[in-house]
């Protein structure tokens, strides 16, 4: 035939004696575009699940928005789907699945009867199960959103209860309620009886927020004996001279010293610094408090932790807390904020918890002196993560971990926190699940691995489906296939999109409420500090960060599982059977800055040479444009 001929296809039902169950007769009509002549020919075709030609009744696609949404999706497939007037030609089984979904959602009996005689029953059952799976993913995503909202609501209740307690105490005349609920506890006769506390802070690098953080730590209003030990790997660390200058300013008011720990050989450098700090602490120390150098303490934090330990010294194993991230405006900082928020509900219990954060841990000093429960040996012999190791020991020996309601700390993130540094941080967090000290600990980590990965992608999947639904609906409206406004709300797909939007709004509202409560609590606990505010939080970016973080988490987790090695601040740790067995240190592995705090890891002599202009330009183009810095 001529090249200018166009084809239309239709089917005609023949008597059952003339055709087999899987055959149809096709009438091919060819019409010339130029001369208008028409020719007709007939031939038989075998009906297959992957290649079928059929006629659909006009009500199916003329008055059915769901059908057109599904048709629009299927038409994006590389195997083209052609439609002319009331006749459809399809060359792929994907359309059959989409068609069946449309028919099922609308539940039109006549249409269902038409479909059932064309498809084998096994194929229909497969389509039915696929459709139910798609609906299940949507509903599952909504349930995950609501569960997160419920968890944050309960956490906000605990924080708000503490806020009311402090405010009521202030109204009753206790102007120092941010230090103690009972003002009589602040009398000198009781303060001198408080136990000695040693604060051990492992340091690495120096950044924009370190001076403020260190000052908040050493100016604590704890009334008992208190010493601070700043532990570094070597004097070449930029933090060495910075903290030395700070301590020289407070040398007459604070008992503090800098300890050089040397290089670790059997565990992570942070754990090595912590254990050396414990060895150097005062012989009369009763409690040791481990703090990260990017934690901003409240004046009464050490007193509140010590008071809780004194209430049940034989029961409590560790006291802990959790940070409130203050995003700097970059997408990377919002991803870290979003990553920490689901974990925060586990620390806002006002008491017992199963979670432990290595940035704030108060423990009995004698547990280290006597190596109770294998605390020292568990950390020293191949330990990678301090909090995961100690949490597993607490679970194995039925020891209690608690988190006081006031143990929430402002955590300002670096103003130049790029997306690449967020990825490095996420890699380190997922790599933690690869370390373990016992078979039970290994099983628990693998369960956390599986559940977190499943829930992360289960959270993201409905949004991907929602984008497809919305895009298809817009395409139908633009192409003029159907008046979308008449039947949009009757469409099953669009109804699920609306349901997901409602659940997402409730989730973000609950997250906002918890953040608001924690900001208020931090302002009450540190009345002398600059006021924190919710104004700089960009909730549009937070929503995007939720999708990005949950999508990337399983990827990072699987990469950690198969690599079994990680670069942490320029030191590469290799794991075998859950423990560190090899440590590499090379200058080319050391990043210029740390991930969260943006701390410089080099001195002037050790700094790497500057990259070329083109490579710097490429990195800048890859990063998001950064808004103004979060000013606290």
Domain count, the chain: 1
How far apart, in whole angstroms, are the C-alpha atoms of residue 137 and residue 457?
Answer: 10
DSSP state of 625: P
* Contact in structure between 332 and 418 (CB atoms under 8 Å): yes
Average pLDDT for 38-61? 41
- Whether pLDDT at 129 is above 70: no
Q: What is the CA radius of gyration of the chain?
A: 32
DSSP state of 70: H
Residue 1 inside a domain? The answer is yes
Residue 479 inside a domain? The answer is no
Residue 253 inside a domain? The answer is no
Residue 11 inside a domain? The answer is yes
pLDDT confidence of residue 216: 86
pLDDT confidence of residue 117: 42
Q: Which pLDDT band holds residue 567 (cuts at 50, 70, 90)?
A: confident
Residue 541 inside a domain? The answer is no
Average pLDDT for 266-271? 93
Provide the domain limits for residue 39.
Answer: 1-47
At 162-191, the pLDDT tens digits run: 999 999 999 988 888 888 888 888 888 888
- Whether pLDDT at 155 is above 50: yes
Give which of 390, 456, 465, 389 is closest to 426, Cα–Cα. 456
Please list, in sequence order, all residues whose beta carbon lies within 8 angstroms of the beta carbon of residue 5, skipping any fewer than 6 positions away: 30, 31, 32, 33
The two three-digit tokens of residue 117, written as one number: 């005689």
Residue 582 inside a domain? The answer is no
With b for 16 or more beta-carbon neighbours within 10 A and e for fewer, the 324-345 pattern comes to bbbbbbbbbbbbbbbbbbbebb
- Whole-model pTM: value is 0.74
Give which of 355, 399, 449, 454 is closest to 151, Cα–Cα. 355
Beta bridge partners of 24: 45
Please list, in sequence order, all residues whose beta carbon lies within 8 angstroms of the beta carbon of residue 403, skipping any fewer than 6 positions away: 319, 320, 321, 322, 347, 348, 349, 350, 351, 353, 355
How far apart, in whole angstroms, are the C-alpha atoms of residue 433 and residue 438?
Answer: 13
At 85-122, the pLDDT tens digits run: 333 333 344 444 444 444 444 443 344 444 444 445 55
Q: Which pLDDT band holds residue 590 (cuts at 50, 70, 90)?
A: low
- Whether pLDDT at 51 is above 50: no
Count of beta carbons in the 10 Å neighbourhood of residue 393: 22
Higher-confidence residue: 108 or 43? 43
pLDDT confidence of residue 370: 93
How far apart, in whole angstroms, are the C-alpha atoms of residue 547 and residue 541?
Answer: 10
The three-state (H, E, C) secondary structure of 407-476, written as one string: CEEEEECCCCCCHHHHHHHHHHHHHHHHCCCCHHHHHHHHHHHHHHHHHHHHHHHHHHHHHHHHHHHHHH
Range name among 24-38, 114-128, 244-258, 452-466 with the lowest pLDDT average: 24-38
* Contact in structure between 100 and 56 (CB atoms under 8 Å): no
Phi, psi of 57 (to 5 degrees): -65, 145
Give which of 300, 323, 458 is closest to 387, Cα–Cα. 323
pLDDT confidence of residue 598: 55
Strand pairing category for 322-326 and 87-90: unpaired
Beta bridge partners of 352: 402
Residue 621 inside a domain? The answer is no
DSSP state of 326: E
**Cα 213–chain centre separation:** 25
Largest CA distance in the chain: 111
How far apart, in whole angstroms, are the C-alpha atoms of residue 407 and residue 101?
Answer: 51
Residue 22 inside a domain? The answer is yes
- Whether pLDDT at 56 is above 90: no
- Whether pLDDT at 628 is above 60: no
How far apart, in whole angstroms, are the C-alpha atoms of residue 424 and residue 405?
Answer: 31
């Amino acid at each position: 035939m001529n090249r200018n001929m166009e084809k239309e296809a239709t089917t005609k039902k023949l008597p059952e004696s003339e055709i087999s169950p899987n055959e149809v007769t096709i009438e091919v009509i060819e019409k010339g575009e130029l001369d208008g002549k028409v020719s007709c020919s007939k031939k038989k075709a075998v009906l297959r699940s992957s290649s079928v030609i059929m006629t659909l009744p006009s009500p199916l696609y003329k008055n059915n928005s769901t059908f057109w949404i599904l048709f629009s999706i299927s038409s994006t497939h590389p195997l083209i789907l052609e439609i002319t007037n009331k006749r459809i030609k399809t060359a792929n089984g994907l359309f059959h699945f989409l068609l069946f979904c449309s028919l099922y959602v609308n539940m039109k009996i006549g249409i269902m009867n038409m479909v059932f005689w064309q498809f084998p029953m096994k194929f229909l059952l497969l389509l039915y199960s696929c459709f139910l799976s798609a609906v299940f993913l949507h509903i599952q995503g909504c349930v995950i959103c609501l569960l997160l909202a419920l968890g944050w609501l309960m956490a906000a209740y605990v924080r708000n209860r503490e806020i009311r307690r402090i405010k009521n105490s202030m109204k009753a005349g206790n102007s120092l309620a941010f230090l103690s609920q009972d003002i009589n506890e602040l009398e000198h006769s009781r303060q001198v009886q408080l136990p000695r506390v040693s604060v051990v802070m492992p340091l690495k690098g120096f950044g924009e927020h370190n001076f403020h953080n260190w000052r908040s730590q050493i100016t604590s209003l704890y009334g008992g004996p208190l010493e601070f030990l700043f532990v570094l790997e070597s004097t070449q660390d930029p933090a060495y001279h910075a903290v030395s200058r700070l301590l020289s300013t407070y040398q007459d008011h604070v008992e503090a010293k800098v300890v050089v720990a040397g290089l670790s050989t059997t565990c992570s450098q942070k754990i090595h610094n912590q254990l050396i700090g414990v060895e150097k602490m005062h012989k009369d120390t009763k409690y040791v408090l481990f703090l990260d150098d990017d934690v901003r303490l409240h004046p009464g934090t050490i007193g509140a932790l010590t008071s809780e330990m004194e209430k049940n010294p034989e029961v409590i194993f560790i006291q802990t807390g959790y940070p409130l991230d203050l995003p700097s405006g970059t997408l990377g900082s919002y991803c870290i904020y979003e990553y920490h928020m689901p974990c925060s509900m586990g620390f806002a219990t006002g008491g017992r918890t199963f979670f432990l954060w290595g940035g704030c841990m108060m423990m009995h000093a004698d547990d280290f002196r006597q190596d109770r429960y294998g605390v020292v040996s568990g950390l020293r012999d191949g330990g990678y993560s301090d909090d995961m190791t100690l949490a597993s020991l607490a679970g194995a020996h039925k020891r209690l971990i608690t988190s006081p309601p006031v143990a929430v700390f402002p955590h300002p993130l670096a103003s130049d926190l790029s997306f690449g540094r967020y990825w490095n941080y996420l890699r380190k967090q997922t790599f933690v699940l690869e370390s373990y000290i016992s078979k039970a600990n290994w099983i628990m980590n693998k369960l956390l691995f599986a559940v977190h990965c499943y829930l992360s992608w289960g959270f993201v999947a409905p949004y991907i489906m929602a984008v497809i639904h919305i895009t298809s609906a817009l395409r139908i409206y633009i192409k003029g296939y159907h008046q979308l406004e008449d039947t949009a709300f009757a469409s099953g797909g669009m109804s699920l999109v609306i349901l997901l939007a409602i659940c997402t709004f409730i989730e973000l509202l609950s997250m906002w409420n918890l953040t608001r409560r924690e900001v208020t609590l931090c302002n009450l606990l540190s009345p002398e500090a600059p006021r924190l505010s919710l104004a700089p939080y960009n909730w549009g970016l937070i929503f995007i960060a939720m999708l990005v973080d949950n999508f990337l988490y399983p990827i990072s987790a699987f990469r950690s599982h198969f690599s079994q090695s990680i670069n942490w601040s320029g030191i590469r740790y290799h794991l075998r059977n859950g423990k560190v067995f090899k440590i590499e240190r090379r200058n080319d592995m050391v990043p210029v800055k740390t991930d969260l705090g943006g701390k410089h890891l080099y001195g002037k002599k050790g700094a790497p040479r500057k990259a070329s202009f083109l490579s710097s330009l490429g990195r800048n183009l890859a990063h998001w444009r950064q808004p103004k810095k979060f000013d606290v």
